[in-house]
Amino acid sequence: MSSIEEKITANFDGIEVRKIEEGRIEVKTKKEALLSTLNFLKDEGYGHLGLVSCVDRIEEGIFELVYILSRYLVGGEVAVDQASLIVKTEVPRGNPTLVTSVKVFETAEPYERELHEMFGIVFSGHPRLTPLFLERDIDLPPMRKDFDTRKYVEEEFESIPPVED
Amino acid sequence: MEIISEKKKGGSSRELELYFGPQHLGMIGNFSITLNVRGDRIVRAEANPGYLHRGFEKLMEGRSWIQNFPLVCRVNVIEPGSMEMVYSTAVENLAGVKVPPRGKYIRCIYLELSRIASHLFGLWAYSKTLGFETVGGWAMYHRDLILDLFEELTGGRVYNIYIWPGGVRRDLPEGFEERTKDVLHEIGEKVPDYNQTFFENRLFHERARGVGVVSREEAMNTGGTGQVLRATGLEYDIRKVEPYGVYDEIDWDVPTREDGDAYSRIMVVRDEMIESVHAIFKLFDKLPGGPVYNKIPNPFKWNIPEGETYVRLESSRGELGLYLASDGGRKPYRAHFRTPSYPHGLTILEKALAGESISDTGNIMISLYVTAPEIDR
Amino acid sequence: MDRRQLIKWLKEPLKMSNKYSLHVVYFCTGCGIIEIPPSITARWDAERFGVKPVATPRQANLFLITGYVSLKTLKPIIRTYEQMPAPKYTVAFGSCPIDGGMYWDSYNTINHLDKYIPIDGYIAGCMPRPEAVFAGITHLWTLIDEGKADGYKKYRRNYSQYRSNQERLYGELGWPPRFETEGLENE
Amino acid sequence: MSGKRPSILNSLGAGKYLFRRPKTIKYPFELKEPAPRYRGFHLNDWDACTGCGNCEDICPNEAIEMVEVPELEEAPEEGRTNLRPQINYGRCCFCGLCVDVCPAGALRLSRDYLHIHFDTDTFTFIPKDQKSAGEKFLPEEEYSVLKANLDHRRQDYEGFSQDLDFSLFRLDRVPMPQVPPEERKLSFIEQVIGYTKEEAKGEAERCLECGLCEDACPAGLNIVDYVGAIYEDDPDESLRQIFKDNPLPSICGRVCMKHCEDACSLGKQGDPVAIRWLKRWTADSIEDYKRSLELTPGEDKGKKVGIVGAGPSGLSLAYFLRLKGYGVTVFDSLPGAGGATRIGPPQYRLPLDAIEKDVNYIASLGVEFRFCTTVGEDVSFEEIRDVYDAAYLAVGNSDPLSTGIENADKAHLALDFLRSNKIGEGVEVGREVVVIGGGNVAMDAAREALRLQHMQHPETSVVTKTVSLEDWDELPATGEEVEEAREEGIQFNPAWGPKKIEVDGDGRVKGLLCTKVKSVFDEDGRFNPSFDEDREKFLEGDTIIEAIGQKPDFSFISEETFGKLEFTERRKVRVNENGMTSLPGVFAGGDIVNTNLDAVTAIADAKVASEGIDCYLSGK
Amino acid sequence: MVGMKIAGIIFSPIIGVITGLLLTGAARKMVARVEWRYGPPILQPVIDLIKLFFQRPPSHGKTFDYGLIASLAGSIVLVLFLPVGRLCPLSEGGGLLLITYLILIGPLGMALSGGEGANPYVSIGISRKLILSLGYEVTLLLILLSVMSEYDTISIFNVVRAQSENGWSLFSWPLVIPGLAYLLILPAILGVKPFDVASAPQEISSGPHVEYGGKYLALSKLEGGLSEFIGIALFVNLFLGGWSIPGSLHLPAGVLGVFLGVLVFLAKVAFVFSLNVTVSASFPRLRVEQAVKYLWSWPAFIGLVGLIIVSAL
């Protein structure tokens, strides 16, 4: 049986596979090939989507989407041999749109909803991209690097006067 | 029975919208579920989180590696220990810090105590939603005894800030082992009472069996971990699958149940507690001497090399993960917690609630161990 | 109960009954809530002093604001507070409601709770121990005895200020003003 | 679904607890002590607290603010400030990071945790402990939990306190590799080997960036920045930071009196950061200052300044003035630059190469040096005043003092001894050397003499002794020097006063007769030794070196001009805040002005004077 | 005799209210004991009431107020038909039959009042309460019928008097069967766990009481205390011989006898109540359909069997 790294490189063109530490393999894929990659990996047994995250690489002008996949293993099987995969793809900061992965992984739904709220990434085809956590509309999605939370607090909360009796 | 079924047939076709929480006696934590009910049955449930959103991950980007320690444990107030551990491990991975063996053992002892405390809290919460404060009160009393141990060990009752990169923050105080064992024995003496009054209580069986069933496939599809998965018979535990600390050096079992309902989940929790107590005794038996802490670099100058890591471990509620990226600076570049309650509370809960009685809202929610602070972060 | 207390009961039944019958709104606003279960269960047993959680704000007269207050929570807090019948008291837990605490720079938690609702007592700590919760209650007793626990009157007197602060946070609020006119009302 | 259903009567067993005693703690009638490690309110030992502000920096919540406290009125001693932490309990999360990072170990947490108030202002608080605010800390019988608050606390209620094994700083310095005493005493090999890059980085990492050292440094170097740059692997940046205030890193990196290290907050409980060695590492690790610094002389202002004395002060002034664009000429009677640093510190401490490295860089900026030119002989001071637009006196203490005891003329004077060894033809020493004096110069002389003995009398036993008025605890030499001298085998005779040098019939020195010293200083703290004439001690020796001090030599100034020069009561040249003496256009600095008598203060003087000269010449 | 009647009319509701409140207090204390703690002072419900009467919460309209008052009034009237010890103002006439009607007024009044508040939890709570009443009402009727046919009277007073002569009906064949049935439905009548589905604070925020605050809450608490008293008092009267003391002891006549009778009666009430508290402290709450299922299975069956046996014998 060939290793998962070999399988991925064999099945997809232009995909970067790199071991970043013991038990973690980074898979960099193109935005367009994301769904097919995820589908392929799910069929390979990586059916546990642990996390969908996003890193704001502001200097490079991209959002880096991070999907962490692992296997549901049981007694005796050790994960180090069956490493977790960190699947990455990039979207431009200026036009952050991506197709939703809810159809592949049901778990992705709240994660994508959160990323939509916190980074302003639009997931096309997502069933409900409604606000999840925030009560107030913030002009800039707050998890972006250029959102300065201290300044925001200063301007929005500290400016409210205390109540004088 | 007939009256109920009549009601179901047509008596009350009106769909009511109920807000379960955030201000609600059956709600544990600041969370809200919007229930669409017809009569006593839930037609549709929508989780409505965010009441505890503090923007942790944003705050972490603004604080140095060390300054984040008091912060991360506050992600989840119910079991801060696992949060400290996951962040410490991630930082250690990135910075290449090693932990001395005694430090690892003490960490595991502390984590197992946290797990028991957390499960006892869960037991309180669960029995409370069933309107059964008696056992809840006992569990809370016993949890308080463990908090006393934490206080002695770490100086804090709840937010311990004990696990640090490089080990633990202080060594065990004099006589801690004996006192821990005393407390565990004291709790152990009451296990027959717990069993008789709660776990073998006929009405608990009536209430919990067949309620909130999450099948194995469903759980696996929706990111379920921890008891949710183990209650379906799958022996999935990060401590076994990807051992951290010294869990591979001692001998312990993963308790499971078959049915996937609230009853199974609570029984898995019960068995886990007992397993944890045994594990603590075993850990104490093997506890080596030596240092507990490798000094970390000066906090004001600590730059962690560029890189990223994903760490996961088994918290009392399921798989807890942390994706941590560093850009080589003094602060994390990005941190994202994968908290077990996130899929449990936002995906599985919505599915599990549909079709159940509103009496069981809290029942199902707590049996999934949905804790609001770690969903919202 | 000794004679002095009996006389007090006869003279000021309102104060005394308010003191010894503090019913708490059960609202987990922040992480301080973790110390409420120990306080009301076997180890510390707040019910010895008549303190117990109740299901709805209408039945309660004590609001324990347990820790940080996020924007989304503040709204129900205001609603809950307004629903409670007077005389009502508020006690805030820990650092966060005083000056932001741990989350002083968070975009989603407010820093000074007393800008939005009146607070009769703050308990220091992060989080306060159950003993401190008791101390908070005894503090409240003293204030009630001295007639200083008048946060609800302050709210009435300065309602327009509170309301405007609340509206600055949320824009239009989803409910009408609680009071039409300003002024001291012996509710 | 599996398993059989249990009996409905099972749970009624709980009813037995109706008749058991409850487990409740009847608080507040029954108290439970918090654990000994409990993290409650802060305690601060004001005497130990240096006001360094590390706690403020580490606090994740900005709960700590350093505030000037009015109670501490008088100026703080070196390495301290009048700032004390003020804690805002509306922010504090009781994590104890501030305790773990307090280098003085002053900040602790107590087990008190009760403070309830309706006024948020009462939650801001400057912690003290029961030593300085005893009235707020009550004994157990007066303490009541019902009244407890920040001003009503328990006595002896220490909670979470520092454990040095777990602190966030390292108390132990990265050891400086040195030539062992047995080896180094045989030759003039440089004693200190110097850090490697990793060692320097490791040592730089210890710095907590509190900045107390910068306040203590006479020249006000950006120590935090240059040490930080070393940690960041950027020696060029480190050198740039040093050169902002000090153009002599190679010299100062070896012989600085390191006021900074005395002030270092880490030194309160452990070793201070080796700031001097780090500076030395920066200077040594860079071959060519010029390439790293990229400094160019300022635009030519067409004015010239004459500097008398090429010691640290004169050299620094030359550097500062060249950067400002003034023409500079430096006069010195020695054949090279360095002044006291050239002749004083022996080769094993400050090799000539190290001096030349700094001097060459300064010379490369276009400074004109006139060596072997004694002002007053080869060129008159008045001439310099005429030719140059301004003059700077940095002549230092060049005239050694003698004890004046009987046969004192048979003894060597330390300064001459050192000079002759370092840049002259050398001195013959006997097998037994006695050095009179307990200062750093005496140590230098003694250790140098020891090396000479070993080189001139190999394979025979040699003895070097020192005799000083001061007792062990009063010795003016730095502890480090004394320690190293003892390692090398130098014998000490503290608290003995020289009385007479004994000579034999041929006029050869036999030894030194000493009397026991009762006290060195009188009640007013003035130098006024008193002796116990009955107790005498004879130290055998064939070479005697007097190292009891130096004084300045102003003979080069004509009497008329000298009459106009004003002095302070401690016989120092009086200068104003611009460094100008009472003679217009004449500035002064270095040992003739300050009382510290060290290189870094001389550099500081030069910095002041450079600003003063700039103002003076540009007519501001 | 008239004086006695008037005294009964005045005192028995008062005794009922006070006992109800004290029992609530005692219940809290006992539950606390089982939970390993001390619990509130026994007078805590009184303190709560005083406080509540001083509060002025908003009303939700006339029906809101009147429903509550009707419910309280219904309970008070019901007390008048129950012999409290030997104080038995109105119970010599149509006692038992009337009680079967009056016992429904409480919940109905509450429903009327609660329905005015627009909170959905109220309507759920009320429907639960009514479903629960239907659950035990049939069994209660069966039990009352058995007692009536056994003693051949509809007057509770006569039932009690008969017991004081013949021994308590709980210990006599065949009335022990309906007695057991009554014991089984007693928690449901009292609305304590496991049958507190109607208020269920953790599920529906105390149901009908959601909108009550201040004096409304106080009134509903009074009503709650009274109905607890009624439920137990009925059992004590029908099956535990009311004021009578077992054996050959007889109470003296006159005021002293009445007084002692009340004491004996209250002691029995307290005993039965403590049994219920123990039950309620050791069970979780049932779902409403489980509760009804339970009520209609064993208790109803036993009640029916009891009636058949009683009427057959």
- Minimum Cα–Cα distance from C53: chain E residue: E201
**Does residue A161 fall inside a structural domain?**
no
Most confident of C63-72, C172-181, D497-506, E198-207: C63-72
Neighbours of chain A (3+ CB pairs under 8 A): B, C
What pLDDT shows up at residue E93?
60
- Tell whether the model's pLDDT for residue E171 goes beyond 80: no
Subunit contact A107:B223, Cβ cutoff 8 A:
yes
What pLDDT shows up at residue D536?
82
**Does residue A142 fall inside a structural domain?**
yes
Residues of B in contact with D228 (CB under 8 A): 301
Range of the domain at B368: 56-376
What pLDDT shows up at residue C186?
46
Mark which residues 24-83 of B lie under 8 Å from C by CB. Answer: 24-25, 27-30, 50-55, 58-59, 62, 70-71, 74, 77-78
Q: How many domains does chain A contain in total?
A: 1
What pLDDT shows up at residue B3?
33
Domain boundaries, chain E: 2-312
Neighbours of chain E (3+ CB pairs under 8 A): B, C, D
- Minimum Cα–Cα distance from C151: chain D residue: D118
What pLDDT shows up at residue B4?
35
Overall fold of domain D399-550: FAD/NAD(P)-binding domain (3.50.50)
Residues of D in contact with E33 (CB under 8 A): 17-18, 20, 22
**DSSP letters spanning B222-249:** TT--HHHHHTTT----HHHHS--TTTTT
Does C45 contact chain B (CB < 8 Å)? no
Report residue E294 CA to chain centroid gap.
20
Q: How many domains does chain B contain in total?
A: 1
Is-same-fold flag (D304-398+580-617; D399-550)? Answer: yes
Structure-block tokens of residue B198: 């709660």
- Tell whether the model's pLDDT for residue E162 goes beyond 80: no
Query: Mind listing the pLDDT tens digit for each residue in E56-70?
Result: 776 666 777 777 788
- Tell whether the model's pLDDT for residue A78 goes beyond 70: no
- Tell whether the model's pLDDT for residue D508 goes beyond 70: yes
What pLDDT shows up at residue D428?
78
Does E289 contact chain B (CB < 8 Å)? yes
Mutate to test the interface with C, among D59, D86, D91 (most CBs of C within 10 A): D91
Subunit contact D205:B298, Cβ cutoff 8 A:
yes
What pLDDT shows up at residue A23?
79
Name the band, by pLDDT with cuts 50, 70 and 90, for residue D392: confident
State the Cα–Cα distance between residues E150 and E134, nearest whole angstrom: 25
Does D23 contact chain C (CB < 8 Å)? yes
Subunit contact D228:B301, Cβ cutoff 8 A:
yes
Are chains E and D in contact at 3+ CB pairs closer than 8 Å?
yes
B363 CB-near residues (< 8 Å, 6+ apart): B126, B129, B130, B207, B208, B211, B212, B262
D153-157, E178-182, E256-260: least confident range? E256-260
Does C187 contact chain A (CB < 8 Å)? no
Per the model's pLDDT, the better-predicted residue between D202 and B16 turns out to be D202
> How much is the mean pLDDT over chain C?
82
What pLDDT shows up at residue E92?
63
**Does residue A163 fall inside a structural domain?**
no
What pLDDT shows up at residue B8?
41
CATH code of the region D181-293: 1.10.1060.10
- Considering only the beta carbons, identify the residue of D8, D58, D231 that sits closest to B299: D58
- Tell whether the model's pLDDT for residue D46 goes beyond 60: yes
Domains along the sequence of chain C with CATH: 3-170 (3.40.50.12280)
State the Cα–Cα distance between residues B138 and B127, nearest whole angstrom: 11
- Tell whether the model's pLDDT for residue D620 goes beyond 70: no
Task: Please report how many Cα atoms fall inside a 13 Å half-sphere around the Cα of residue D415, on the Cβ side.
Answer: 16
- Minimum Cα–Cα distance from E296: chain B residue: B1
A75-79, B29-33, B210-214, E270-274: least confident range? A75-79
- Tell whether the model's pLDDT for residue D595 goes beyond 50: yes
State the Cα–Cα distance between residues E194 and E281, nearest whole angstrom: 9
Query: Mind listing the pLDDT tens digit for each residue in A83-138?
Result: 788 888 888 888 888 888 888 888 888 888 888 888 888 888 888 888 888 877 77
- Considering only the beta carbons, identify the residue of E38, E278, E282 that sits closest to D22: E38
CATH code of the region D304-398+580-617: 3.50.50.60
- Tell whether the model's pLDDT for residue D374 goes beyond 80: yes
- Considering only the beta carbons, identify the residue of A133, A162, A165 that sits closest to C115: A162
Name the band, by pLDDT with cuts 50, 70 and 90, for residue E115: low
- Cβ–Cβ < 8 Å for D282, D242: yes
**Does residue A111 fall inside a structural domain?**
yes
Q: What residues of chain B score a pLDDT lower than 70?
A: 1-13, 25-26
Does A45 contact chain B (CB < 8 Å)? no
Query: Mind listing the pLDDT tens digit for each residue in D538-564?
Result: 888 888 888 887 888 888 888 888 888
How near does any CA of chain D get to the CA of C187, in Å?
A: 22
Any bridge partners for residue D584, and if so which? none
State the Cα–Cα distance between residues D488 and D450, nearest whole angstrom: 9
Are chains B and C in contact at 3+ CB pairs closer than 8 Å?
yes
Give the 3-state secondary structure of chain E.
CHHHHHHHHHHHHHHHHHHHHHHHHHHHHHHHHHCCCCCCCCCHHHHHHHHHHHCCCCCCCHHHHHHHHHHHHHHHHHHHCCCECCECCCCCCCHHHHHHHHCCHHHHHHHHHHCCCCCHHHHHHHHHHHHHHHHHHHHHHHHHHHHHHHHCCCCHHHHHHHHHHHCCHHHCCCCHHHHHHHHHHHHHHHCCCCCCCCCCHHHHCCHHHCCCCHHHHHHHHHHHHHHHHHHHHHHHHHHCCCCCCCCCCCCCCHHHHHHHHHHHHHHHHHHHHHHHHHHHHCCCCCCHHHHHHHHHHHHHHHHHHHHHHHHHC
Are chains B and E in contact at 3+ CB pairs closer than 8 Å?
yes
**Does residue A57 fall inside a structural domain?**
yes
Query: Mind listing the pLDDT tens digit for each residue in D231-281?
Result: 888 888 888 888 888 888 888 888 888 888 888 888 888 888 888 888 888
Percent of chain D with pLDDT over 70: 99
Name the band, by pLDDT with cuts 50, 70 and 90, for residue E91: low
**Does residue A11 fall inside a structural domain?**
yes
How near does any CA of chain C get to the CA of A22, in Å?
A: 34
What pLDDT shows up at residue E118?
65
Residues of B in contact with C69 (CB under 8 A): none
**Does residue A128 fall inside a structural domain?**
yes
Name the band, by pLDDT with cuts 50, 70 and 90, for residue E1: low
What pLDDT shows up at residue C48?
86
What pLDDT shows up at residue B11?
43
Residues of B in contact with E121 (CB under 8 A): 18
CA dihedral (D481, D486, D489, D492) in degrees, to 10, reads 100
Query: Mind listing the pLDDT tens digit for each residue in E76-88?
Result: 888 887 777 777 7
Any bridge partners for residue A123, and if so which? A98
- Tell whether the model's pLDDT for residue C185 goes beyond 60: no
- Considering only the beta carbons, identify the residue of A153, A157, A162 that sits closest to C114: A162
Query: Mind listing the pLDDT tens digit for each residue in C87-124?
Result: 888 888 888 888 888 888 888 888 888 888 888 888 88
Overall fold of domain D28-168: Alpha-Beta Plaits (3.30.70)
> How much is the mean pLDDT over chain E?
79
**Does residue B27 fall inside a structural domain?**
no
> Which residues of C sit within 8 Å Cβ distance of D?
42-45, 48, 95, 98-102, 104, 112, 114, 119-126, 128-132, 134-136, 138-139, 143, 148
How near does any CA of chain D get to the CA of B17, in Å?
A: 32
What pLDDT shows up at residue D417?
82
Are chains C and A in contact at 3+ CB pairs closer than 8 Å?
yes
What pLDDT shows up at residue C10?
78
- Minimum Cα–Cα distance from B193: chain D residue: D14
Look at residue A4 and give its three-state secondary structure: helix
CATH number at residue B68: 1.10.645.10
Mutate to test the interface with D, among C65, C68, C104 (most CBs of D within 10 A): C104
What pLDDT shows up at residue C114?
85
pTM across the whole model: 0.87
What pLDDT shows up at residue B300?
84
State the Cα–Cα distance between residues A154 and D286, nearest whole angstrom: 46
**Does residue A164 fall inside a structural domain?**
no
